[in-house]
Amino acid sequence: MAMGKSLNGYQERWENNLKITETPPHMVEVVEPDQNAFEDQLQARTEKDVEVFNQVRLNIDKAQEKQMES
């Protein structure tokens, strides 16, 4: 009998806690992915990749020139 009471008390506290922490549907904000922001980020990353690639290529060319001079 005591066990049943404690389980009922636990169940009741769990349900009360659920009621307290549950967000009402009108308070939930659905955030759609921003396609323009994604495309802008992708464009910026692509431009950065091109800059890095060009710098690496330049460094390789300089290293090859120095190697040929030696």
Q: Domain count of the chain?
A: 1
Is 5 a domain residue? no
Is 69 a domain residue? yes
CA atoms 39, 41, 43, 49: torsion sign: negative
Q: Which amino acid is at 24?
A: P
Is 21 a domain residue? no
**Does the pTM exceed 0.85?**
no
pLDDT value at 62 more than 60: yes
Q: Structural domain of residue 42, as residue ranges? A: 34-70
pLDDT at position 35: 83
Six-digit token pair at 57? 């290529």
Q: What are phi and psi of 29, to 5 degrees?
A: -105, 125
pLDDT at position 20: 62
52 vs 22: CA distance, rounded Å = 48
pLDDT per residue as tens digits for the range 2-39: 454 556 667 777 777 666 666 666 777 777 778 888 89
Taking residues 36-53, report their average pLDDT: 92
